[in-house]
Amino acid sequence: MPTKVTARYVLGHHKGRHVLLEDACVVYSGDVIDYVGHDYTGPVDEELDAGDALLMPGLIDLDALTDIDHLILDSWAGPEQAKGHQWSEDYFRNRRANVFTAEERQQVREYALIQLILHGITTYMPIASEVHSEWAEPFVELAGMAETSRRLGLRGYLGPAYRSGVNVVLENGSRSVMFNDDRGREGLADALRFLDHATELNDPLVNGVLLPCRIETLDLELLKATAAASGERDVLVRLHSLQGLVERELIHEWHGVTPLELLDQVGLLNERLLIPHATYTDRNPAVHGEDRGDLTRLADSGASIIHCPLTSMRYGSTLDAFNAYKEAGINISLGTDSFPPDLIRGIDSGVQLAKILAGSNDAGDVAGYVDAATLGGAQALRRPDLGRLESGAQADMVAFSLGDLRDGVHEDPVRTLLLNGTARQAVLSVVAGRTIMADGVIAGVDLDYWRSKGQELFDKMRRAYTVRDARNRPADQLFPPVYARLER
């Protein structure tokens, strides 16, 4: 028997576009939507009423933090201070170690996945910082995370991150990358092993993908091997690239080309590629300040970008500009990349930044950003059954409450949510027909416990920066408070 979910507002889908319905419902059987509209009168097994809320497709986060927050530590530092947040050359050569035990690492993952659910994410592709790992992510870590993800009910696109190099601060104070090619080969082998593991699980909520780290941390042969594996197995690759001037300078120094040209040369620039950020194309003012063909090249390749507006803004950059990439025909999806995993705040940040860049209020493409968080993510994943509420689509949905006085008045519920709210207003989350969160509660999850455990893990992570710093400064010097603290 089907389940019926009603809400004051429903963001349905009609003739290829999202449409808004008032006082409407979504009906689904198993993991598939049967009906979206106003007048369903058939029998149902269960009825859920989201109340004064916006019920919309589940949010798709393709650069989802599955780690303890690090942006709170490193998003404000100047160039010299930031060097203390990187590995030192001595640490790379002589003292590499895992900050967390294997058990703690799984706790970190569970803490982060709970955060995704509470913020309305239903489909995710993970990212974690390797700075507090001995190298990157072994097979066993992602296998354990997959089990946690299955238990919680999220839809994941997973694989261990791998790399052959690490960003370091050299003894002379400059920044570079130091390599160990064998570790890169081991990482790719683990990644391929996980693809086989995901296939054996035969669970539609666990999907294997290749998740190499940043482009400058992969040697040329590892890039080519990744491209070959992606083609042979027809699996997606997400590779952080086009995201900074240091990356651009290193790639040009080593290979004599731009990062985008290198992606093309090694065989990665195609419809299976997802590029987080993609902010440093030739139209970026810090590069050339005009489009010299990068956007056309991206569009023609079929690759998708993963725009992370909130995180980019916090690190002092942004996509220049959303509408230009969209008009060029590039598929744009969204990611959070850091804490909070709040795509509502991310969409609002992107819309406002677009206005500033264009110098015009009408440059903020609200519908375009919401589409990116739903339809764009679905396209990047090659899953036309995701990102929309319509008959035949997957029963993935989230409801954001709009009933609090602090939410303000209702003009358009999407604008009200974006301008006045956050993803913390998620009150219902359904993935593949399973209710994984209702009224802010995740069945079987003790949020008070995880709040305490998350702080404990974060404090351990913060202290561990000292041993990696070239000057071994204590954490309170590496991360000074906003205001001086007086002792009691």
The CATH architecture assigned to 60-382 reads Alpha-Beta Barrel (3.20)
How far apart are alpha carbons 437 and 164 in whole angstroms? 39
* Cα 207 to Cα 125, 135, 256, 303, 477, distances in angstroms: 10, 24, 36, 19, 42
How far apart are alpha carbons 366 and 149 in whole angstroms? 31
- Assess whether the previous peptide bond of 321 is cis (omega < 30° from 0): yes
Give the mean model confidence (pLDDT) for residues 248-275: 97
Residue 282: band (very low, low, confident or very high) from pLDDT cuts 50, 70, 90: very high
Q: What one-character DSSP code corresponds to residue 22?
A: E
How far apart are alpha carbons 12 and 21 in whole angstroms? 7
Phi, psi of 456 (to 5 degrees): -60, -45
The confidence score (pLDDT) of residue 60 equals 99
pTM for the full model?
Answer: 0.97
What end-to-end distance do the CA atoms of the chain give, in Å?
63
Dihedral-angle region of residue 245 (phi above 0 means left; psi in -120 to 50 means alpha; beta otherwise) = alpha
Q: In degrees to the nearest 10, what's the CA dihedral of 370, 372, 375, 381?
A: -150
Give the mean model confidence (pLDDT) for residues 150-164: 98
Residue 144: band (very low, low, confident or very high) from pLDDT cuts 50, 70, 90: very high
- On the question of pLDDT at 65 being above 90, the answer is yes
The confidence score (pLDDT) of residue 487 equals 83
Q: What percent of the chain has pLDDT over 90?
A: 93
> Average pLDDT of the chain?
96
How far apart are alpha carbons 120 and 206 in whole angstroms? 18
- Assess whether the previous peptide bond of 340 is cis (omega < 30° from 0): yes
Residue 133: band (very low, low, confident or very high) from pLDDT cuts 50, 70, 90: very high
If you count them, how many residues does the chain have?
488
Listed by start position, the domains of the chain span 60-382
Give the mean model confidence (pLDDT) for residues 465-483: 93
Beta strands, E only, 190-324: 206-208, 211-212, 237-238, 273-276, 304-307
